[in-house]
Every structure is written in structure tokens, then in C-alpha cells.
Amino acid sequence: MDLNEFNFSDIEVQLAKCQRLPGETHTNFFRQTLTGTRYWSVSGERSFIFVTDDLDFLRLFFITKDPGDLKSLLGRVVLPSTTVTALVGRQFHPDILEAFLVNGHRHHALFRRMTTRSLRVAKTNSRLDFAVLEDLEELLERLKTDFDPYPNHLPSRTMLTDYISNQWVLVIREGRKIIGYIIFQIIGNQVNYNFLFYSGPHPGEFLFLQNNFFGLMCRQEISTGFLWVDETNTRVLKMNEVSGWKLDGLMTKYLITQPSI
């Protein structure tokens, strides 16, 4: 069974149609921001699947009233390229997980959410430096190199342009080269502490970068935030725990499948 291309308004109609069917709803689509520009979908009797493009792979979203029907649909649909599915929850429904695993979707990563209601108090320092639009290409390439794109939901060119314009990207430079950066997003009165990376030789500069982020949040009177951490990255987990971040129980399990050759 092949996927068919639709515009997103058609996707929304099908999502609503499935939502109205009787029975318990299982889904991984919560109106989150999508970075793709094209959409393909397929319907079952009590399930609906759509995929969207992201870099050189696809992201899969679903809604179902019957895990067995979802399993059948996943077994029949042809996914033309590497496809990533994110299951979000404090626990994962075993029948939904089985629907993916028996159809060749394998575990890739488990990310855990950390939150805080008291961001560290700090002041900005003389190294405060915001990215500018001329940094866009370098940052886009760095993100693809520095982070695994499958679980990290890298910002699109349009999104990153907006982040830079909003002064949501802090950088540390060595000459003209960016050696460290923090990319964040302010949502209401909280901050999504998205991406932090430093590749320079001086640990003190990493602290300057962090202090400028926390100082900027203090300046804007933002004290709550959230971030996602790979459960295997124990160093970052411990670093954040020392700074007052706590696991809140919410998890995202990333599954990946690749087309048969």
C-alpha cells in the first residue's frame, strides 16, 4: 500500500474523522510544530497515518482507535525512506509499541524531559553575543553535525531564521568561527532550552555561554523551563540535576525503520 501526497488541510480532516470514531484514542500527534513542507498519508479502517519530510528522512505520525488495525496498516504501508516515529508518554501502551516493533521499527533512543521552576540566577557578562543572520548557514551545518537529527528535531531554515531574529541564539566565537552556541525558544513564560554545544578548548568559555543564557532569562524574568535529554547521556543528566533540573516522568521513545533494499 503506497502513501499518497496531500496538503496539510486534508491531513487535518482525516485526523478529525478518525478522532470522531468510537473507542479510546491513541496518537503521537499533539499539534506540535512540524518542520516538513510535504505530507503523505494512508488510512485504515480505524487508523490514520501521515508522514512529513525532515532533512533526508521522514517523520511518521498516527492516530488510531484500534492498535490491531494500526498494526495491520503498518504492515501494509510502503515507507520509501528512513522513517522516524516518536512515542510520547509517561508509559507506552504495549499494543501500540508492538504494532511498530513487529513491523520492523526498532528502538533508536529514549529521551526524558527535565523541568525547573527556578532557573539559576545569573548576570550576563561581556561575552554576550547573539547570532546574526550571517551565521545562519554555519549554524544549520553545525546542528546537523553536532546532534543526531532523528530524535533532536533540528529547526528548519525558517525556524532558525526566526530564532535568530528573536535573539534566541547565543554564540561563542573564535575569530569568525562559532565554537559554541545555545539555541532556545521562549514559549509564554517558560523557556525550551533546546540545544547547547561547545567545541572550543577553554572550559571557562562554556561557563560564560551558560551564564549568559541564565542571565538573559533573569533579565526577562523567566524562571521556568524544560529540556529533553537522551537517557544514555548521564553526564548531561547529572550536570542538569546539579543545576536544579528534575526529571518529570515524561518520555519520548524514538523508533526507526528503513526500507528494504
Matching residue, cell 526507526: 256
- Cβ atoms of 139 and 131 within 8 Å: the answer is yes
% residues pLDDT > 70 (the chain): 99
Q: How many CB atoms lie within 10 A of CB 19?
A: 12
Residues 6+ apart with CB under 8 A from 143: 149, 154, 155, 160, 183, 195
- Cβ atoms of 182 and 196 within 8 Å: the answer is yes
CATH code assigned at 39: 3.40.630
- Cβ atoms of 65 and 73 within 8 Å: the answer is no
Residue 244 domain-assigned? no
**Same structural domain, 65 and 157:** no
Residue 194 confidence (pLDDT)? 87
Cell numbers standing for residue 247: 526529571
**Same structural domain, 104 and 124:** no
Residue 245 domain-assigned? no
Mean pLDDT of 136-163: 95
CATH code assigned at 165: 3.40.630.30
**Same structural domain, 73 and 53:** yes
Q: Structural domain tally of the chain?
A: 2
34-79 confidence digits (pLDDT tens):
888 899 999 999 999 999 999 999 999 999 999 999 999 999 999 9
Domain carrying residue 60: 4-111+252-257
**Same structural domain, 29 and 53:** yes
Residue 225 confidence (pLDDT)? 97
Residue 228 domain-assigned? no
Residue 230 domain-assigned? no
- Indicate the pTM of the whole model: 0.93
Q: For 143, left (φ over 0), alpha (ψ -120 to 50), or beta? A: alpha
- Cβ atoms of 192 and 225 within 8 Å: the answer is yes
**Same structural domain, 10 and 104:** yes
Q: Roughly what angle, to the nearest 10 degrees, separates helices 136-146 and 157-165?
A: 120
**Same structural domain, 123 and 105:** no
**Same structural domain, 98 and 136:** no
**Same structural domain, 107 and 18:** yes
